[in-house]
Structure 1
Amino acid sequence: MERRGSPGLGPRNDGASRIQKPETAVDKAAKLAALKARVSAAIGSSKAKGGLNVGLHPALEDLGQWKPGGKSGDSDSKPSFKPSSNQTKQKKALDLSGPSAEEIKSNPYYDANLGAPTVKPRQSRQLIFNQKGKYIQQANALRRQAALEALKKKIAAQTRKAGIDEDIDVEKNFVVEAPPEIEWWDEGLVVGGDYDHIDDPGAVKIDTEDTIITSYIQHPVAIEPPQDQHLPAPKPMYLTSQEQAKLRRQRRMADLKEEQAKIRLGLVPAPPPKIKKGNLMRVLGEEAVKDPTAVEARVNKEIADRHTKHVETNEERKLTKEQKHEKLARNQEKDVAKGVHMLAFKVNSLANGQHRFKISKNAEQHNLKGLVIMHPKQNLIIVEGGEHSIRQYKKLMLNRIDWTENAPPRDRTAQNDGTRDWLRAEDEKGELKDLALNKCQLLFEGEVKSQAFHAFKSRVCETDAEARQALSRAKLESFWNMAKSTT
């Protein structure tokens, strides 16, 4: 018979694990008495409880009576039982509660550390009814949230397309990197990868044998400073008026002596005398006395010939229009070779067409390269070139142009075709726009490493995104943010 409630520890109670011992008559009698007690208790409880209000089967009523079925000495015969009158009256109920605490503790395999098993009574849960419309409200909330997310995505897509989101945060956030554990110039002088042991003399490689500090001095190779390449050529020393006259006399004296030597040697013919009205009588003498009218006419003719020759010589020496342009281009290229300078201006409005013409025409004449961005809110002008050209263009933008002046367009048909409203000099009523608050501001002036543009162009940009995209090719997007932050 299995032992209920015994702990899981200990040897197994199956038949294969325990050793079979021969049963004695006492053991058989004890088993028989226990079996009788169980049958009597089962019969009594069934009759007492009634089950389905049905009595015990007649074939089972004589189970409690003794019916000898074999010999008295036969130990394998099955005895029959008949419940006594006392057992029937008591009608003890069948105990299904399991072993008690005393029985568990009397078990030789009982472990007090495990404790007695506890059975928690089952508690029935109460029914909770949901209120009417609870899940409908939750579904409506989920639908509203989904519609809000879809609206946010739609607005974000439209702002990205129009470039409005870039206008919200103009300033860029730059993440400052954390300082290193040790600087690169101290890596060879400090033991370890940080400055934690800097106070320890043994952790500093200054006086040690493996130090990089020695008594020798390294003299680098002397090179020409790069900025000296852009220096202009030295100009000659200026002379005073007396010094210039003295040099001129000496040069003319040397040329005259050389001419006289050639005449003496017969290399060149002697020049005719230079007759003027002042030396007329002295040079011609008697001829002037005989016919003074003819001599005077002759002298006037020679004077006119000399003047004509002088004018013709000057005209021959004078440069043509093409040669002047070539010379100017060479000088401008030399100016750019000395260093590239850049200017950036902000103009509130370019509605006046004359202003736009002067900006582009002067840039072309001074061989400047850059970009003009025309925007409804502000206009950005960037030019680059030589120092001399940049200086002249700066005077044009800040001094020569009157930005508050407005003039009607010369060609009204050309202005009405494809011109933005904010670039027209006149409003919808046909009146000139008021440019009293229009002004030009200098945002940047300085020398740059190399040229960022290949020509001077103008571009109309409706949004900030288009303006930044136009400047991104030259990597000058910061000028647009600078112009927006300038008032």
Structure 2
Amino acid sequence: MRARKEKGNSSSRDGNSARFGAGLDIDIHPALLSENLNLIKHRDNPYLSRERFDTVASKVSKRYSRGLKFRTPGVLAKELDEKRAWLAKERELQKEQDNLRKAKVRAGELPDESIGEQNYLITDVPQIEWWDAIYVQSPEDWTIKTKYSKSYGTMDEDSDDEQDSESESPSVRYVQHPVPVQAAEHAPSKPKIYLVKREQKKIRRNRRKLLQEEHEQKIKLGLEPKPAPKVKLSNMMSVYQNNENITDPTSWEQTVKAQAEERHQKHVETNIRRHYEAKEQKKEKAQEAPPAQAELHCRVFRFSSLRNPKIRFKLAKNSRQLGLRGVCLRVGDGAGIIVVIGSEKNCRFYSKLVLQRIDWTQSYVDKDSQQFVDCSGDEAELLWEGVVKDTRFRGWFMKECRDESELQAVLSQFDADWLLRV
């Protein structure tokens, strides 16, 4: 009974079975015989007797069947280096093209795209503009039409003829063409304005006031630090109003003295530095070669006496300040000669000094003997003036000679003894 029930159940589960209770003798399902891989996922199905393994091989099996291929060491690195070199070359070429384009933009050959010049229409310059075309008869020879070049004699100012329309009235002859004047090579320089002492002080005072106001404004805005107070012994207690200077005034007094000494030392060092800078500038200016002069003007003066030391000082000081060359020779306290060589302007100034500004008759008191020296009879005169080609004098000096022969010998050393014979 049990065997029959099991056979009946199996037959009920398999509706496609032709025989009841066949077991392993049942025919294989048609789907299992299909070659469609979508229906059958496993290729190791024992029921697929007609399966072709070579057509359904996976990609991995095909890769293993071909064998492994390895890259040669250094090939990829070489390819990357070549690619980098090519990119660098491309960048350099692009940079050169950009620089060339910028140069052409600056030269005006290409439009400047940064300001939109490429949007403007570039056309050729016409031979004649439209506003001039109505006045020209022939563009080839640029002749003006007759009605625009009528003379004043052919015009009738009182004519009311309707035919004299606006188109017939002359216009070109009313245009005034100024005569071209050649511009000066050098523009005229503005005259220098000389101010009196009072005006100079006023300008300096106003300028210093503006600078001080600017400095104070910067301090208020915090752009510059506030200056430290200038403390002295007289204002020490009012500046340092705290408990320390009241309890220990001696230490604060030493501090204030040290600050005052530091300010004094800084002032002295500044003065010394300015003194040496002025000396160096004066020395450099003196060492500079004097400009080549086209002509050397010479003035020769003769004086009766040169006893007054003030006059000697004036002669020597002015000659050196003017950069003159020459000599001043005298025999004792007697007569002598003055020779100055330089530019015309300096010689003219020195001539006014000797003949006009200096009072040769001014008496004086000798410092050594305290005796009054009367110079009422002294005088000076211009002996000769002219132009010399060259001179052996390299500076200006004064010398007191014993006699006339020594004076002539000194002049002979500089090839100037002929000045005594003029």
The TM-score with structure 2 as length reference comes to: 0.35
Larger Rg: 1
The TM-score with structure 1 as length reference comes to: 0.32
Higher RCO structure, 1 or 2 (CA under 8 Å, sep 6+): 1
